[in-house]
Structure 1
Amino acid sequence: MASETGMQRRYQRLVGLITASKPLDLDAWTRMLLVQYFFHVSDRRRIEIHGEGQQLLNLLTPTHFKGQGRIRLATTTVFGVPRSPGSYGASYIEARTPDSLIDIGPGTVFNNRCVLISEGASIRFGANCLIGPELHVMDSNSHDLVLERRRQPDPRPAGVEIGDEVFIGSRVTLLKGVRLGRGCIVGAGAVVQPGFEAPPMSILAGNPAVIVGRARSAAPTSEV
């Protein structure tokens, strides 16, 4: 009974401290605590940071790194947008097998709660990509699709290649073998099927995604 009373007093004290704090300060403190927690329990030794400047990760919202493979991040890669839905939910980045690779180029920014899982091929993002919330990318089917072997790994993973300056809307799914050329736009909610290849500056939308137009550029381009 005494211990229960003590817990109640500690709870009331904590509530008092929270109530007395400034909302914006509390929001930032809570997010920083979650960022530190998820990074602390990550497989940090798998992370390789490359590029100029300080060799630090830009984690603005919780991000969880797991796996046995390689995770290469540029010094200017950013995970998280605090003033966006899902800013307390964790993104999940996993190079699941020893042969797996996730490689993110400089200046690429991921919004909240993205999922990148490599199972033996690779997931590569170029430079200066802008990624909406809840992106889901995999380089495999997660398991064999043959009925009798569905508890076994996918025997044929295929790498996902995202070019420079690609813009991906919210809740997009990119499946194995997808290739998006420079400057592509993928509309919100699109599901890009395995092996789909989009030329530079394509606009994709739908489930299954198809090319519905061509992105504009203010600068002349020789790409077709």
Structure 2
Amino acid sequence: MLKLDRYKTWISNSNPFELETWVRALLVHYFFHVSDKASVEVTATQDGAARVVNLLTPTVFKGSGRIRLAPTVVFGVPRSPGSYSCSYIEARTPQSLIEIGDGTTLNNRAVIVSEGAGIRIGRRCLIGSEFQVMDSNAHQLALGQRHLPDRQPRPVVVEDEVFIGSRVTLLKGCRIGRGSVIAAGTVVPPKFDAPPLSVIAGNPAVIVGQVQGQENV
């Protein structure tokens, strides 16, 4: 009890900003420590470039497949909702591949799960909080077979320089063209194919406009 009281006193007397930083750092290290680190590959774009995983908020990596990250990918935004929550990245099967390109930033509470078809997110994408993407239905949909894995996963592709708002869900087989914008709360259905510079919104998603001018990309 005395020990607990000492901790309470120490916390009460600590600088709030410094304490917040320490707590978040502890969570980041814990979740990376329990990750399947052998599945994570950081690709160097230049000789001698640092091969580190840039984790600003808690993120866990799981699975027996491959998670291939460019060295400038960033997970998490500390000054954003959910900065103490954990993002979850899983290459679930040995055939699974998740690729994320240079300069892409994912906000907090992301969920990315591949069951074999593959998920590729391009370069310089900005992705909002609570983003979810899967290349399968996670299980069969037929009644009586929902305990079985999806037999037909389909690849998901997000091309370069896509801006994705908060709480967006991408379902299997969809493709988002370069420079597109996806509005917050959008659910992109299976096999949806958006050409470059599309503005996408709704549940289910539809193309509602075009990004105007290269200066906006």
TM-score bracket relative to the smaller structure:
over 0.9
The match for 2:2 is: 9
Q: Secondary structure at the match of 1:189?
A: coil
> 1:53-132 alignment to 2 at 5 Å?
53-132=49-128
Across the two proteins, how many residue pairs are aligned to each other?
A: 214
Post-superposition Cα deviations, 1:130-181, rounded to whole Å, max 9, x if no partner, equal 0000000000000011112111000000000000000000000000001000
Question: What 5-or-longer segments of structure 1 have no aligned partner?
Answer: 1-7
SS at match of 2:200: strand
Q: Does residue 1:175 correspond to 2:168, yes or no?
A: no
Pick from 147, 159, 178 the counterpart of residue 151 of structure 1.
147
Structure 2 unmatched runs, 5+: none
State how far apart, in whole Å, the 2-side matches of 1:137 and 1:217 are. 28
The answer to which of 29-38 and 143-152 deviates more is 143-152
Give the CA deviation at 1:187: 0.2
| Partner of residue 196, structure 1 | 192
Distance 1:216 1:15 in 2: 55
Q: Which of 41, 44, 47 is the equivalent residue of 1:48?
A: 41
Where 1:148 maps in the other structure, the secondary structure is coil
Scaled by the length of structure 1, the TM-score of the pair is: 0.94
RMSD across aligned C-alpha pairs, in angstroms? Answer: 1.2
Matches within 5 A, 1:137-148: 137-148=133-144
TM-score if structure 2 supplies the norm length? 0.97
CA distance in 2, matches of 1:64, 1:27: 20
User: Alignment partner for residue 18 of structure 2, among 25, 28, 33?
Assistant: 25
Q: Secondary structure at the match of 1:137?
A: strand
Q: Distance in 1 between matches of 2:54 and 2:215?
A: 30
Partner Cα distance (1:160, 1:218) in 2: 25
Q: Could you give the per-residue CA deviations for residues 82-104 of structure 1, whole angstroms, max 9, x where no partner exists?
A: 00000000000000000001000
One-letter code aligned to 1:33 = L
The secondary structure found in structure 2 opposite 1:48 is strand
Question: C-alpha separation between the residues in 1 aligned to 2:58 and 2:80?
Answer: 13
Deviation of residue 220 (structure 1)? Answer: 10
SS in 1 for 2:144: helix
**Cα 1:220/1:75, change in 2 over 3 Å:** closer
C-alpha offsets along residues 187-221 of structure 1, whole Å, 9 cap, x if unaligned? 00000000100000000001001000001234499
